[in-house]
Amino acid sequence: MSDIFKSDTHLNISPVYLSPGFAFGGSCLPKDLRALIYRVKELDLKLPLLESILSSNNEHIERAAEAILCLGKRRVGVLGLSFKPGTDDLRESPMVELVKKLIAEGCDVRIWDENVSLGQLIGSNRQFIESTIPHIGTLLQTDLDAVVEHAEVLVVGTTAVSQYAIL
């Protein structure tokens, strides 16, 4: 059934939207969803499915954190911090939330993302990451090999990154 829906190129602009995966994030979708939920409440309507999406999304992050912590390893390498490949946008990235939870549980986290350079982040993107993980500069690494060597557990946050092939 999924293949049938994904084959529709007229109404479905991308098969990716109908493929299961990790939690969603970014600067638009969560904000737009909150705005929709707010408007629904203003109209005194009940849309339980719509209202459950954010908590379901957060549950994906919680379950990922639990799965990592259950391994009993504390040195974690994260490959890909942004909410999607090819961007440095960290706003509401589920990987940022996951890293935050792992740090709170005492994990020694190192992060590599070929698209993210703290010195290049500007505006609300930089403000978001500095307020969410104030010591992000000490976690971000420019050397993928160093992150891999450090890690007892590797978490791949985004796909389509060329250097992952070395793993």
Catalytic residue among 28, 35, 67, 118: 28
CA 13 to each of CA 3, 8, 10, 17, 118: distance values in angstroms, whole numbers, following the listed order: 14, 8, 7, 8, 33
Tens of pLDDT, residues 99-152: 999 999 999 999 999 989 888 988 998 999 998 999 999 999 999 999 999 999
Q: Which domains does the chain have, with CATH numbers?
A: 2-166 (3.40.50.720)
User: Are 12 and 2 within 8 A, CB to CB?
Assistant: no
Q: Known catalytic residue: 28?
A: yes
Write down the mean pLDDT value for the chain: 88
Please report which residue ranges of 43-93 form alpha helices under DSSP H: 48-69
Closest CA to 82 of 140, 40, 123, 42: 140
pTM: 0.85
Q: Could you tell me which residues come within 8 angstroms of residue 92 by beta carbon, excluding any fewer than 6 positions away? A: 25, 26, 27, 30, 31, 83, 128
Q: Are 130 and 118 in contact (CB under 8 A)?
A: no
- By the 8 A CB rule, do 98 and 22 touch? no
Structure confidence at residue 72 (pLDDT): 98
